[in-house]
Amino acid sequence: MDKDYAPLSTACVRALNDKMYDKRKLAALEIEKMVKEFHQLNNHTQIKKLLKVLGHDFAVSKNPQTKKGGLIGLAAIAVGLGKDSSQYTDQLIQPILANFSDADLRVRYFACESLYNVVKVTRTGVLPHFTAIFNALSKLVSDPDPNVKNGSELLDKLLKDIVTESATFDLVSFTPLLRERMYTSNPYARQFIISWISVLNAVPDIKLVQFLPEILDALFLILADKNFEIKKMCESLLNEFLCNIKADPGVDFNSMINILIVHSQSSEELLQFTAITWIKEFVQVSGPDMLTSIAGILMSILPCLSYENEQYKNIKDTARTVNYTLQTLVSEEKDTPSPSIPCAHSKLDVTSVVDVMSKYLIQTPVPTKVACLRWIYHLHSVIPNRFYNHVEELFPILLVPITVLQSR
């Protein structure tokens, strides 16, 4: 046994396999002492042997007791190495993470404890492995066992402290995993995700708002959660993002506007109001750039102008503001010399706007119809030549309300 598990002694191997935690703890102290001696002598060969024995023969064994011994042993190596343990993060972290999904809840718990101790020592040295750790941790936060869940929360808090203090966080590599994990319906996982986004957004050196197009859709889905606490957390986070955008409008508005248009047609009141509020700010901050999406925006806001219930007054008022701002932007558009000359360099697609008016002039409540008629009048007044070619298309539709009135 001495030969197979060298440099571990027979007694240490036996203690690592013991069911009693205290005996495994004593073995870990022996390993820590051994590692300190190897480290002082610059004996990297023996340290690597220890890592291989504990990482391969113990931590990924089929025997749960042996796994527990390997997990506590790996943490002991990190403690023994101190700050220099960052040189061996691959060998330390990978076998521990392999046990995060173990069927045995005690193994999962000790894996969490082991990684906590490794991370506590290595600090920023674990950041190259952050994505893998986050991936494993995002699953443990919803673990059915309360001890495992509590252990994961302690590890989560430690990681957040480290990321907050670091100036070398790789957001580019992390964002795809973050986006993927956000499309979960598990309430614990959603809280975990929102808390992490809030932490990252609060770090000045991490420009998370630049990656907002990647996660905005999922944020709106979480906003519709039935859990009040999750809903409030997400609402607060979205407000923070919107404040950031208004303070420094350097984001890609066009990559987010379609997401907002979709959610602004939601039947969930908070979701719809938040999306339309964002659209309002986008139109006001981005200005003429939003004219490329005017048809979609009008599709979402014009029906809101017909809301009569006092409960939806905030949505109706916000939609009215968006409508007015869009008309103001269109007022600044240049017309062509004649209907036969196409308009160059304009972001306004008159055809798409007319298509929306044509749709909403039929079978919609009166306030929406009136808004459409005002839009038609506005287009005719501001850009008559660009609008001229659509008159023939609109004329039969405009006659419908008159015909209805005459039949009464």
Conformational region of residue 350, where left means phi above 0, alpha means psi within -120 to 50, and beta covers everything else: alpha
Residue 230 pLDDT exceeds 90: yes
Token couple for 42: 């610059």
Distance CA 276, CA 285 (A): 14
User: For the segment 52-88, what is each residue's pLDDT rounded down to a tens digit?
Assistant: 999 999 999 999 999 999 999 999 999 999 999 999 9
Distance CA 377, CA 394 (A): 12
Q: Which residues contact 337 (CB under 8 A, 6 or more apart)?
A: 385
* Backbone phi, psi, residue 2, to 5°: -60, -40
- Nearest partner of 219 among 211, 311, 249, 293, judged by Cα: 211
Domain termination site, one of 121, 155, 177: 121
Q: Lowest-confidence range among 156-170, 233-247, 387-401? A: 387-401
The answer to whether residues 259 and 110 belong to one domain is: no
Distance CA 407, CA 297 (A): 34
The arithmetic mean of pLDDT across residues 121-147, rounded, is 95
The CB density around residue 62, as the number of other CB atoms within 10 Å, is 6
Distance CA 320, CA 280 (A): 10
Flag whether 375 is in a domain: yes
pTM greater than 0.85 (yes/no): yes
Give the E-state strand segments of 150-238 in sequence order. none
Residue 408 pLDDT exceeds 60: no
Domain termination site, one of 98, 121, 144: 121
pLDDT at 232: 98
Flag whether 139 is in a domain: no
Flag whether 26 is in a domain: yes
Residue 2 pLDDT exceeds 80: no
Flag whether 201 is in a domain: no
Identify the CATH number of the domain in which residue 2 sits: 1.25.10.10
**What average pLDDT is seen over the chain?**
94
Distance CA 81, CA 36 (A): 6
The arithmetic mean of pLDDT across residues 311-331, rounded, is 98
Flag whether 371 is in a domain: yes
Instruction: Classify 306 as helix, strand or coil.
Output: helix
The count of structural domains within the chain is 2
Residue 201 pLDDT exceeds 60: yes
- Nearest partner of 231 among 274, 276, 280, 176, judged by Cα: 274
- Nearest partner of 135 among 187, 180, 198, 165, judged by Cα: 180
Q: Are 350 and 385 in contact (CB under 8 A)?
A: no
pLDDT at 226: 95
Half-sphere exposure for 311 (CA within 13 Å, toward CB): 5
Distance CA 387, CA 393 (A): 11
The arithmetic mean of pLDDT across residues 251-280, rounded, is 97
- Nearest partner of 91 among 44, 46, 52, judged by Cα: 52
Reported confidence tier of residue 402, pLDDT bands at 50, 70, 90: low
The CB density around residue 278, as the number of other CB atoms within 10 Å, is 23
pLDDT at 363: 84
Flag whether 394 is in a domain: yes
More confident position, 337 or 29: 29
Distance CA 60, CA 68 (A): 10
Question: For the chain, what's the residue count?
Answer: 408
Distances (CA, A) of 372 to 59, 302, 326, 361, 376: 68, 8, 13, 7, 6
The arithmetic mean of pLDDT across residues 79-98, rounded, is 97
pLDDT at 266: 97
Reported confidence tier of residue 1, pLDDT bands at 50, 70, 90: very low
pLDDT at 401: 58
Distance between first and last Cα of the chain = 100
Domain termination site, one of 121, 154, 184: 121
Flag whether 8 is in a domain: yes
Reported confidence tier of residue 340, pLDDT bands at 50, 70, 90: confident
Flag whether 34 is in a domain: yes
Q: Tell me the residue range of the domain where 317 lies.
A: 253-408
Distance CA 123, CA 77 (A): 15
Residue 284 pLDDT exceeds 80: yes
Tell me, what amino acid is at 9? S
**Percent of the chain having pLDDT more than 90?**
88
Tell me, what amino acid is at 59? A
Reported confidence tier of residue 404, pLDDT bands at 50, 70, 90: low
